[in-house]
Structure 1
Amino acid sequence: MRKLFFFVTVFTVANILAQTESSKRERKWQIGIGTAVVKFSDEDAAFIGDKNMIQIPRLNLTIPIGNNLSLDGAMSFNSFGVGFIDNSVKYFSLDGSVRYNFNNLSEDFVPYVFAGGSLVDSERKMTPTLNIGAGLTYWISKSFGLNTQVYYKHSLEMFESMRSHIQITGGIVYSFDIGSMFAGKPTSSIGGACYFNQH
């Protein structure tokens, strides 16, 4: 029983420490830049005007709201042509989602699932979509990571200006502590130390 109790205690403490180290990173803000590819089915492509469209750049900001939850906002701009894929029509989207991060699975690999919505601006007019998806961030250092994710953007039948489609994204993210950026060094204690040193 003592050996079992010791093993369970050590395992529990190690697991808590691992989750704490992982959650420290996930409690930080993240900014990212990358690209995205939108894919329509053959039937919907005939209506939209293009089957595969690329967005450059795609910008996103992720704000933690708990140990496993975060809010993510992104903007995907219409591509200005990259040679091998040129968009026949425009595609610009504003995305917002709530993520659930699986922080305790690995220190370097952080998978997550998300749900949210988008406003997609096409050739016709801006149209809302409902989104679900999954993503993965591989942290190559304490501050930088590689991110990829897959969206399914569902367009309701009542909106005739857009069709449901898939968006695949990829980019690099930077993690930072927003609190340390605005935290100033205390000056009263320094001034007090100088005062007492002079007397």
Structure 2
Amino acid sequence: MNKPNSIKFCAFLLLFNVLSINAQDFNEKWGIGLNSASVLYSAEDGTTVGGRYIATVPGISISRYLGNKMTISVMFSNSMNDTQQYFSSDFNLSYDIFNPDSFLRPYLLGGVGVVNLLDTGLTLNVGGGGTLWIANNIGLNAQLIYKVSTIGGELQKSHIFGSAGIVYSFSPSRNKRLWEK
């Protein structure tokens, strides 16, 4: 996909997110996010997989707040305009460290993922992140995940996956803005 098409795709996703607010379930515990991410392999593993750094745009995540400070999410990331063809899908469970109603929401996460780069493999994910709510429905999110390669070919290696993006929550009542106490 070339650069103008990827920009159009991102704009479409953002517009779709804004327009589909009434399509969510009545509990309003759903959220959706768009992000950009970087994949980092060790120097040794970088020679095996064809490079140390891979950029992914766009990353898409869908999450549901379960209660008791727990959120379940699924995230999809794909490399674009990179020499390496990286695709991952992750299923993570996160735990809010502090009150989930606060404007800054740091969390720890764990889960599993499927990564396709030269080989397809299963990863165990461990990491953390946080969301800074800048409006009732909109937050800035960043997270860092270490993906431990568990099942896959010899070409599949463990790596670090860092992402940053914007999150839209369909539940404005759960989020306080930065200036609210």
Q: Where in structure 2 are the equivalents of 1:1-199 lying within 5 Å?
A: 28-80=29-81, 87-104=82-99, 107-123=102-118, 125-156=119-150, 159-177=153-171
Aligned residues: 144
**Percent pairwise identity:** 34
Tell me the secondary structure at the aligned position of residue 44 of structure 1: helix
2:121, 2:152 within 8 Å by CA — same for their partners in 1? no
Query: Which structure 2 segments of 5+ residues have no match?
Result: 1-27, 172-181
| Equivalent-residue separation in structure 2 for 1:157 and 1:105 (angstroms) | 34
**Deviations along 1:11-35, whole A, 9 cap, x unmatched?**
xxxxxxxxxxxxxxxx721100011
| Equivalent-residue separation in structure 2 for 1:65 and 1:149 (angstroms) | 19
* RMSD, aligned CA: 1.7
Query: Which structure 1 segments of 5+ residues have no match?
Result: 1-26, 81-86, 178-199
Relative to its length, the structure with more helix (as a share) is: 1
Shift in Å, 1:158: 6.3
Following TM superposition, the consecutive aligned residue runs of length 4 or more in structure 1 with deviations greater than 4 angstroms are: none
Shift in Å, 1:127: 0.8
Shift in Å, 1:88: 2.3
**TM-score, structure 2 as length reference:** 0.75
Q: Pick closer, same or farther for the CA change 1:77–1:104 going to 2, 3 Å.
A: same
| Equivalent-residue separation in structure 1 for 2:148 and 2:100 (angstroms) | 30
Which protein shows a greater Rg?
A: 1
Q: Pick closer, same or farther for the CA change 1:66–1:153 going to 2, 3 Å.
A: same
**Deviations along 1:39-88, whole A, 9 cap, x unmatched?**
001000000001110000000011111130110100001122xxxxxx32
**TM-score, structure 1 as length reference:** 0.68
